[in-house]
Amino acid sequence: MTYQIGSDLDRPSEECGVIGISTRGGDAARLAFFGLYALQHRGQEAAGIAVSDGRAVRVHKDTGLVSQVFDPRALAPLVGGLGIGHTRYSTTGSNSERNVQPFVVETLHGPLGLAHNGNLVNADQLRKRLLARGAGLRSSSDSEVLALMLAATEGENWEERLAKVMPEWEGAFSLVIISGTKVIAVRDPWGFRPLSLGHLPSGGHAVASETGALRTLGCDTVREIAPGQIVVLQGDVVRTLQAMSPKEHQARCTFEHIYFSRPDAVWDGLSVHQVRQRLGEELARQHPVEADVVVPVPDSSMPAAIGYSAVSGIAYNEAFVKNRYIGRTFIEPTDELRRSGVALKFNTLEENIRGKRLVVIDDSIVRGTTSGPLIRMLRDAGALEVHVRITCPPIAHPCFFGVDMGTYEELIAHQLSVPEINAHIGSDSLGFLSLDRMMKAIGRDDGYCNACFTGNYPLPVQLSLASSKQRFDGVLG
């Protein structure tokens, strides 16, 4: 049995992925390509690579998946030992060719390329300031604002200019920057977005949004770049500058553990797979239910379902087969094809469902557009009962730091109570993991941004960006 499921619309949409390469040879572009391939889950709208041979910076970028944007012909001109790359999901700025990264600009100090994961909450003010100075902005992305501000800052070298301009940037920014002679990695002082450094087996170093991408390149001695740090890569040489002190209250994104990162990632020194398994264990303790089988909604919920099964003693099995390539194509099906069942996201395994009471583990409910159709699929496949368990609290507030959670009008938990959501999606019962149990599973008392659950933002935000209609219930931190 098959249904058209809009699951990508009912998830916090991926942020972006960045990669930086400094190697002895001239093949930085190929290494960046494989690094981006490992980060493809973080953004499927566009990709780009910029490379330097010590003099010029060359760039190739386009809309599409990494494998669609790059082939041997596209990579051939990108010769050099320094490279940066970006795979994009649009947060600030629409998905158009002019917003594709890296941004490369000519400056008085030579060429400069920049790729950005995150979102600035003061981007509008900074943009107006640049326009008042006569800057020619070509995109609607805050990443171009970062590049032009850096280019206009005085200093003896790029790291000195960065240290001067960073205090003006409010919000989330994990950056990779390329000049003619060096690659620079930068992380904001709140630590919102991940960024790690590793040593390449052939010599040189790489930085990436996730440790799994570094492992893909064979890196060893991987470490997280600290909040507020600038790391300069030149061949085998690594220099670290603590440009800003880390903020007293760190704001790592909890959703890296819940959904975004690949399970093989290490985030804040913690195995993402192990954290997800513990989230499931805590769910079983907080929301037990009599049932026959525990099933995950693929893929990020699979470790949590294993954890729920282990604590509850209810057998684990699979109920869904996910087509991982549906939703990653840029050819949209017609309404007629949709009605006929073409381009489907999930199929069900009816033999694992028929006559069973199910506990369905999922990572989140954002807009509420997916859970109802999934539950109908399970009932049509013969499920006797469907009990839904979610590995985080209800998402009731938008994100301003690089994650597309939707607006207040779109967030179902901002509009409805948990019993009302349960009735809306048609489950027999619904349980969300509480905030304290979620943090217990992560193993931290603080240091994380949970604003999408609580409305307590780690720094003041421009609330008008979230909604022009809904009132705001949260507290500005």
pLDDT exceeds 70 at position 91: no
Distance CA 123, CA 95 (A): 18
pLDDT per residue as tens digits for the range 349-407: 999 999 999 999 999 999 988 899 899 999 999 999 999 999 999 999 999 998 877 78
Please state the three-class secondary structure of 224-279 as a single string: ECCCCEEEEEECCEEEEEECCCCCCCCCEECHHHHHHCCCCCEECCEEHHHHHHHH
Residue 155's CATH number:
3.60.20.10
In a domain, 94, yes or no: yes
Q: How confident is the model at residue 99 (pLDDT cuts 50, 70, 90)?
A: confident
CB atoms closer than 10 angstroms to residue 283: 30
Residue 288's CATH number:
3.40.50.2020
In a domain, 55, yes or no: yes
Q: How confident is the model at residue 90 (pLDDT cuts 50, 70, 90)?
A: low
* Domain final position from 201, 227, 253: 253
Q: How confident is the model at residue 205 (pLDDT cuts 50, 70, 90)?
A: very high
Residue 333 shares a structural domain with residue 379: yes
Residue 247 shares a structural domain with residue 320: no
Give 436's contacts (C-beta < 8 A, 6+ positions apart).
none
**What are the tokens at 267?**
């985030």
Q: Which residues are catalytic?
A: 16
pTM, full prediction: 0.89
pLDDT exceeds 60 at position 473: no
Label residue 376 exposed, middle or buried (CB < 10 Å: 0-12, 13-18, 19+): middle
CA atoms within 13 A on the CB side of 353: 25
Residue 207 shares a structural domain with residue 304: no
Helix or strand holding residue 454 (H, E): helix 451-454
pLDDT per residue as tens digits for the range 16-46: 999 999 998 889 999 999 999 999 999 888 9
CB atoms closer than 10 angstroms to residue 82: 29
CA quadruple 299, 361, 297, 66: dihedral sign = negative
Distance CA 121, CA 170 (A): 6
In a domain, 472, yes or no: no
Residue 234 shares a structural domain with residue 341: no
Sequential DSSP letters for 63-97: ES-HHHH--HHHHTT--BSEEEEEEE--SSS-SSG
CB atoms closer than 10 angstroms to residue 424: 16
Helix (H, G, I), strand (E, B) or coil at 297: coil
Helix (H, G, I), strand (E, B) or coil at 254: coil
In a domain, 259, yes or no: no
CB 450 within 8 A of CB 435: yes
pLDDT per residue as tens digits for the range 256-309: 999 999 999 999 999 999 999 999 999 999 999 999 999 999 888 999 999 999
Residue 39 shares a structural domain with residue 139: yes
In a domain, 294, yes or no: yes
Give the pLDDT of residue 474. Answer: 30
**What are the tokens at 280?**
């499931």
Region 104-122: what's the mean pLDDT? Answer: 93
Range of the domain at 458: 270-465
In a domain, 477, yes or no: no
Residue 441 shares a structural domain with residue 397: yes
